[in-house]
Amino acid sequence: MAKTSMNMEENVASALSYVLGWVTGLIFFLLEKDNKVVRFHAMQSIVVFGTINVAAIVLVFIWIIGQLLGLLAFGLWIFLIIKAYQGGMYKLPIAGDLAEKWSK
């Protein structure tokens, strides 16, 4: 595996970009200047979990939708951490395209 400018393995840094949702995505996006894979995963984390956070705030008064959104977010969070740790760039349909465009 390739190293990052933060002296971490690429797959570890990519997985860590998802650990605290958009917060760690933002941290890794700002700190990592060279590695395109890590920057992609960081931006995808910002786009996906930032959108989920905004939707959760908007839907806070509709309890059942909020609960379903929480379950979806948790499953997606686990899935993205695993895929990032396995290496490569797993791209979600819309968020992945945006992340790829904005992370360059």
**46 within domain boundaries:** yes
**2 within domain boundaries:** no
Q: How many residues does the chain have?
A: 104
Separation CA 65–CA 87 (nearest Å): 33
**1 within domain boundaries:** no
How confident is the model over 27-31, as a mean pLDDT? 93
What is the per-residue pLDDT for 34? 84
| pLDDT tens sequence across 33-90 | 888 899 999 999 999 999 989 888 887 777 777 788 889 999 999 999 999 999 877 8
The domain containing residue 46 runs over which residues?
A: 10-102
**44 within domain boundaries:** yes
**5 within domain boundaries:** no
Separation CA 17–CA 11 (nearest Å): 10
Total domains, the chain: 1
**3 within domain boundaries:** no
